[in-house]
Amino acid sequence: MQCREACGACCIAPSISRPYYGMPRGKAAGERCVHLDASMRCELFEDPRRPRFCATFAAEPAVCGANREQALVILAELEVLTLPPATAGGRQL
């Protein structure tokens, strides 16, 4: 599947916990990446400074749904499902 034009869901919905070019603290889930341009395209595509997470993302119907709105919902749900267990003082809650 090719990326959907004017989508950018994968640049908004997921969190990126590691620092990367332009975002020294990473990116929170739901936060728009600073490299997402007005046309909803990644300005770092094919750039070696692009985060590994982004470079390995593959658009596919199961993740991207039928439209941008579905992609945002699916990716947000996957973000929650893949969160590490909550911990307090090194113990799992």
Strand partners, 92: 87
Residue 61 confidence (pLDDT): 95
* Structural domain span for residue 52: 9-85
Q: Is residue 14 part of a domain?
A: yes
**92 within a domain of the structure (yes/no):** no
What are the DSSP calls for 30-84, one per residue?
A: TPPPTTB-TTS-BTTTT-TTS-HHHHH----HHHH-SSHHHHHHHHHHHHHHTPP
* pTM reported for the whole predicted model: 0.84
Task: Assess whether pLDDT exceeds 60 at residue 92.
Answer: no
Q: pLDDT tens digits for 5-62?
A: 999 999 999 999 999 999 999 999 999 999 999 999 999 999 999 999 899 999 999 9
Q: Determine, yes or no, domain membership for 4.
A: no
Residue partners of 26: CB distance under 8 A and separation at least 6 = 15, 16, 17, 18, 19, 20
| 93 within a domain of the structure (yes/no) | no
Residue 3 lies in a domain: no
In a domain, 44, yes or no: yes
Query: Total structural domains in the chain?
Result: 1
- In a domain, residue 1? The reply is no
Distance CA 47, CA 69 (A): 27
